[in-house]
Amino acid sequence: PYVNTKDILEKASEGFYAVPALNINNLEFLQAIIEAGLEESAPVIIETSEGAIKYAGNGNIMRGAKLFVDMVREYADTIDIPVALHLDHGKHFEYIIAAIKAGYSSVMIDASEHNFEENLSITKKVVEIAHSVNVSVEAELGRLVGIEDNVVVAAHEAALVDPDEAVEFVEKTGVDFLAPAIGTSHGAFKFKGEARLDFDRLKKVKERTGIPLVLHGASSVPQDIVELAEKFGADFKGAKGVPSEILKETVKYGINKVNTDTDLRMAFIAGLREFLAGNPTEFDPRKYFKVPKEYVKGLIKERMRLLGCSNKA
């Protein structure tokens, strides 16, 4: 069934496990995600960025949002695992309102580049609107910056979440789940040296707010996938993500939604490059997207098991 993201995340928080939030831009990634959820009997959170909505709607935001809701609901309403659709990194009201009107389960208002007071007042406004029509809301505190090696640069310190601010923020906004910045960053090149996350801040935010928490920039960038893609012509030098063991630790300290986009893209392009190299005569997309979809599905199933949401549907 198609559900509210909050239902999935409240259960995850109570059960001390996490659910991957998986970004899509097209049909093939949706198919891989749904198949992975069915095979793992796991809850599924699908998310789209504003860019994905613009892409699907050829610039028409309402059309793009409706396309994703219709695609996801057609699958969700015919299977017995819970499925939610979330607007990732909503920054512009036009997209946030379009997502709510189209029927998204939840929206993120990402006002983290503003100062605390600004972020709080913008988030409060979105929560009031979204909650009036039973849509849940995610917000972000702190900014996504990698923690450099062993020297945590003062500027980066300032970017990380302040646990004391988190309590006030949650109380005053009524936000349903929160993304505390603890040292991750988006994309395939997250850390120059060893990966370090600020677990102390994470633990404090969980203890003081008690609500489901979200990890952004959570892709692991598995080296075997990187090497496979490079074997067939990709150049991903220096690609590095969040090691699986560290990802597991974040769940122990209270993370319940794990945003994952780069890993899906890496798995897909590695599979596509490998298939195309071995099948020079193939030109049917249903054929040449099959192996990439299998790679994406396999990675998602592994991630569901790692995060503990398999058999939790």
Ligand X SMILES: O=C(COP(=O)(O)O)N(O)CCCCO
- The label of the residue with tokens 């952004």 reads 216
Q: What is the DSSP string of 116-144?
A: HHHHHHHHHHHHHHHHHTT-EEEEEES--
217 near ligand X, rule: CB under 6 A: yes
Tokens of 216: 């952004």
Positive or negative, the Cα torsion across 116, 6, 84, 63?
A: negative
Q: Which is nearer to Na ion, 170 or 291 (CB)?
A: 170
**Binding string to Na ion for residues 207 to 246, with x set by CB under 5 A, is what?**
----------------------------------------
Residues 117-136 that bind ligand X (CB under 6 A): none
Residues 28-57 that bind ligand X (CB under 6 A): 49
Q: Dihedral (C-alpha) 20, 21, 26, 30: value to the nearest 10 degrees? A: 50
70 included as an active-site residue: no
Tokens of 211: 């609500």
Alpha helices in the chain (DSSP H): 5-14, 27-40, 50-56, 61-76, 93-102, 116-132, 154-159, 163-173, 199-209, 223-231, 244-252, 262-278, 285-288, 290-307
| Residue 146: contacted member of Zn ion, Na ion, ligand X, none (CB under 5 to 8 Å, by partner type) | none
**Binding string to Na ion for residues 76 to 115, with x set by CB under 5 A, is what?**
------------x-------------------x-------
Angle at CA 14, nearest 5°, toward 260 and 218?
A: 15
> Please, how many CA atoms are within 13 Å of residue 233, restricted to the half-sphere of its CB?
9
293 near ligand X, rule: CB under 6 A: no
Residues 203-222 that bind Zn ion (CB under 5 A): 216
Residue 190: how many other CB atoms lie within 10 Å: 23
**Binding string to Zn ion for residues 252 to 291, with x set by CB under 5 A, is what?**
-------x--------------------------------
262 near ligand X, rule: CB under 6 A: yes
**d(Cα 36, Cα 260) in Å, to the nearest integer?**
14
Q: Report the nearest approach of Na ion to the CB of residue 138 (Å).
A: 5
Q: Which is nearer to ligand X, 256 or 262 (CB)?
A: 262
The interface region with ligand X, picked from 24-32, 120-128, 169-177, 256-264 by CB under 6 A, is: 256-264
Q: Which is nearer to ligand X, 256 or 259 (CB)?
A: 259
**d(Cα 27, Cα 253) in Å, to the nearest integer?**
34
Q: Report the nearest approach of ligand X to the CB of residue 78 (Å).
A: 27
* Site residues, ligand X (CB under 6 A): 23, 49, 88-89, 186-187, 216-219, 259-263
**Which residues are designated catalytic?**
88
